Amino acid sequence: MSLKNIREQFRSKEISAEEQVKECFKKINENKDLNIFINEFQEDALKKAQHIDNNFDDFKALPLGGVPIAHKDIFCTEGRVTTCGSKMLEKFVPPYESTVTENCNKAGSIMIGKTNMDEFAMGSSNETSFFGPVVNPWGESLVPGGSSGGSAACVAAGITSISTGTDTGGSIRQPAALCGITGLKPTYGLVSRWGMIAFCSSMDQAGPFARDAFGCATLLDVMASYDMKDSTCAKRKEVSYEKCLEQDFGKLKIGVLKGIENLGISDDVLKAYENSKDMLIELGHSFVELDFSELSSGICSYYVIAPAECSSNLSRFDGVKFGHRAEAENINDLYLKTRSEGFGDEVQKRIMIGAYVLSAGFYDAYYRKAQRVRRMIKSKFDSFFNSVDLVFLPTTLDQAFEMNRESSDPNRMYKEDLLTIPANLAGLPAISFPNGFANELPTGAQFVGNYFSEDLILNLTNKLQEVTDWHKMTP
Amino acid sequence: MDKIELKNLLFLARLGADEKDYPKIIEKLQNTFQMIDQMNELDLEQFEPLNNPLELTNISREDKDNDRNQKKDFLKNSPKSDEDYFVVPKIIE
């Protein structure tokens, strides 16, 4: 069910908050084999639901009053274990609440659990989680995408209508596409990163998952807030994204990439993309072809900058103040053993790459150069937005793929992010939505907008969803 | 990358690995660097390095104390503590 329906049913007293929560846990139990949750909070959720029902008048007008929600286990929740998908934080109980979860709590939502994810958000298939992989609700041998795979699968399986995720290189949009739901990565700085466990601080951004643009707009209204506790949080004009859905933005100029058929995108994804273009024309919009031959260099830049920032951010996990600690005789062994035992292979690999590119002698050759590529990508987008209102492209190269995929290309998994990474490097907002079906699996496409144009890309997605049914399909 | 370079890198990253796994780790790292090295084909001199997409300036808050003393909460998360201190193995040999 969509957020809109759930909220209406709560407001009209058709279904109580308690009944909603009970329904969620029924579905959680029916879908145990999907491994969506790292922790569930049935007792607390029921208690909060009863409190909401008993104080109905205080909650009925709140944007998420009585609505069950699942949070990615990257957001610190005070007094509740927050693992970030890692053995390192298996028993970590944060003494504070993230701004995102606090905003959601204040808006009347009911947290039912914390969702599984790639370890420290490093992965595109959810297979790097210490707690085992998440299964895509569309197929028992398929990945849900990553790193916010648990949150995406949760909405796709119909357990909740909304969930939270984070997107550093595509970690909201790629799983949204692979699970057939809608997911938005906001402009860098729109949503506070306070209490969100850091991976790559200059790109990490939290955002909403929902069935449709309406759900994403409403949840974004709640998540976005200026926060003094995050020095990179942007001050902006207060906007109601939900209200913007009804606004008329007129006929738009939409940028599409020249030579997109040469990027290695599957025929099925390309076909769905072309169909969506036809629909956009029917809605009265027009296309402008853009030359973005530098697109693929985004991956190179990302896989230098993200590991560099990760190696720095993850240096705090030393076994002293919190997290896993190995038995050791001296302090150096303590660091080495703690980190080798606590981190999985992918995280260790990225820490090593990061340490390497930041080390004396390689800094200019790798890190500096990657930052120049980042500027180049940003400049490219800046020039695009002189002639178009937004850019339209597929979200992924292909549909949901098999777990433990063997590939002749060792970097195949990294290339998964080809079409999502540029928005992260430039800090731009982008929304992925279901735009077709092939092989009984969903396909996804995305709109990338100019800075703080979430209102526009949500509005256009909503307009498309008014004339299509892809977002209503369920596994 | 050879075994000595990897050993140095592992120490720099404060990670440990069994020497028998070194060839596998080197191969994985080299594969990734092969992809990254495609950057070398680009002419980038005209582009200044970009740290942050919005090029934000730092903000400061009012220098005001708050009454939230969480010492106990933080020490509770420590694998080993004693009274007000985090306990670590011997540092000076």
Of A469, A429, A436, give the one whose Cα is nearest residue A217.
A429
- Chain A: give the shortest CA distance to residue B20, in Å: 15
Residues of B in Cβ contact (< 8 Å) with A322: 74, 77-79
Amino acid identity at B91: I
What mean pLDDT comes out for the span B1-18? 95
CA A370 to chain centroid: 23
- Chain B: give the shortest CA distance to residue A250, in Å: 28
d(CA A224, CA A232): 13
Task: Using DSSP, state whether A309 is helix, strand or coil.
Answer: helix
Looking at residue B56, its pLDDT comes to: 66
Q: Name which of B39, B58, B73 is nearest A297 (Cβ-Cβ).
A: B39
Tens digit of pLDDT for each residue in A352-368?
A: 999 999 998 899 999 99
CATH number among 3.90.1300.10, 3.40.50.1240, 3.30.465.10, 3.40.50.150, domain A3-250+393-472: 3.90.1300.10
Which DSSP category does A16 fall into?
-
**What is the complex's ipTM, to 2 decimals?**
0.94
* Residue extents of the structural domains in chain A: 3-250+393-472
**Alpha carbon of A253 to those of A30, A63, A292, A293, A374: distances in Å?**
45, 32, 17, 20, 25
Whether residue B66 has pLDDT greater than 80: no
Residues of A in Cβ contact (< 8 Å) with B36: 300, 303-304, 366, 370
Looking at residue B41, its pLDDT comes to: 93
Whether residue A322 has pLDDT greater than 90: yes
Looking at residue A397, its pLDDT comes to: 97
d(CA A99, CA A166): 13
The CA-to-CA distance between both ends of chain B, in Å, stands at: 32
State which H helix or E strand residue A288 sits in. Answer: strand A286-290
Q: Name which of A228, A337, A375 is nearest B50 (Cβ-Cβ).
A: A375
Tens digit of pLDDT for each residue in A270-312?
A: 999 999 999 999 999 999 999 999 999 999 999 999 999 999 9
d(CA A312, CA A355): 8
Tens digit of pLDDT for each residue in A187-241?
A: 999 999 999 999 999 999 999 999 999 999 999 999 999 998 898 988 888 899 9
**Within 10 Å of residue A282's Cβ, how many Cβ atoms?**
9
What mean pLDDT comes out for the span A111-131? 97
Q: Does A294 touch chain B (CB under 8 A)?
A: yes
Amino acid identity at B4: I
- ∠ Cα A61 A190 A118 (to 5°): 95
Q: Exposed, middle or buried, A344 (CB in 10 Å: 0-12/13-18/19+)?
A: buried
Which residue carries 């503590």 as its tokens? B81
d(CA A229, CA A244): 28
Residue B56 — left, alpha, or beta (φ > 0 → left; ψ -120 to 50 → alpha)?
A: beta
Pairing of strands A441-449, B81-82: unpaired
d(CA A193, CA A200): 11
Which DSSP category does A172 fall into?
T
Tokens representing residue A79 in the block: 């007094």
Give the helix, strand, coil percentages of chain A, each rounded to 5: 45, 15, 40
- Residues of chain A with pLDDT > 70, as a percent, come to 100
d(CA B39, CA B37): 5
Tokens representing residue A259 in the block: 């030579």
What mean pLDDT comes out for the span A55-64? 97
Task: Determine whether the interchain pair B39/A301 forms a contact, defined as Cβ–Cβ distance below 8 Å.
Answer: yes
Residues 59-98 of A with CB under 8 A from B: 92-93, 95-96
Quote the strand ranges of A364-454, DSSP E: 390-394, 430-438, 441-449
Residue of B nearest to A200 (CA): B52
What mean pLDDT comes out for the span A329-351? 96
Looking at residue A160, its pLDDT comes to: 98
Q: If pLDDT is split at 50, 70 and 90, which confidence band does A406 have?
A: confident
Task: Determine whether the interchain pair A331/B36 forms a contact, defined as Cβ–Cβ distance below 8 Å.
Answer: no
Looking at residue B53, its pLDDT comes to: 87
Active site residue A276: no
Of B17, A261, A69, give the one whose Cα is nearest residue B3.
B17
Tens digit of pLDDT for each residue in A243-254?
A: 999 999 999 999
Looking at residue B90, its pLDDT comes to: 86
Which domains are present in chain B?
Answer: 1-42 (1.10.20)
Dump the DSSP string for A260-271: GGGS---HHHHH
Whether residue A405 has pLDDT greater than 90: no
- Torsion angle, alpha carbons of A432, A435, A436, A439, to 10: -10
Residue of A nearest to B47 (CA): A372
Which of A300, A301, A377, A383 is the mutation pick for testing B, counting most B CBs within 10 A?
A300
Looking at residue B57, its pLDDT comes to: 67
Of A392, A395, A390, give the one whose Cα is nearest residue A256.
A392
Active site residue A72: yes
Task: Using DSSP, state whether A458 is helix, strand or coil.
Answer: helix
Which DSSP category does A274 fall into?
H
Q: Does B69 touch chain A (CB under 8 A)?
A: no
Whether residue A135 has pLDDT greater than 70: yes
Residues 3-42 of B with CB under 8 A from A: 9-17, 25, 28-29, 31-40, 42
Residue of A nearest to B32 (CA): A411
Residue A147: is the preceding peptide bond cis (ω within 30°)? yes
- Chain B: give the shortest CA distance to residue A276, in Å: 30
Which DSSP category does A183 fall into?
E
Q: Exposed, middle or buried, B21 (CB in 10 Å: 0-12/13-18/19+)?
A: exposed
Mean pLDDT (chain A) is 96
d(CA B81, CA A203): 35
What mean pLDDT comes out for the span A51-73? 97
Rg of chain B on CA atoms, in Å: 23
Looking at residue B55, its pLDDT comes to: 64
What mean pLDDT comes out for the span A181-187? 98
Amino acid identity at A33: D
- Chain A: give the shortest CA distance to residue B2, in Å: 13
- Chain A: give the shortest CA distance to residue B82, in Å: 12
Q: Does B64 touch chain A (CB under 8 A)?
A: no
Residues of A in Cβ contact (< 8 Å) with B79: 319-320, 322-325
A-to-B residue pairs, Cβ atoms closer than 8 angstroms: 168
d(CA A20, CA A14): 11
Residue of A nearest to B51 (CA): A371
Whether residue A384 has pLDDT greater than 90: yes
pTM, full prediction: 0.97
Residues of B in Cβ contact (< 8 Å) with A451: 54
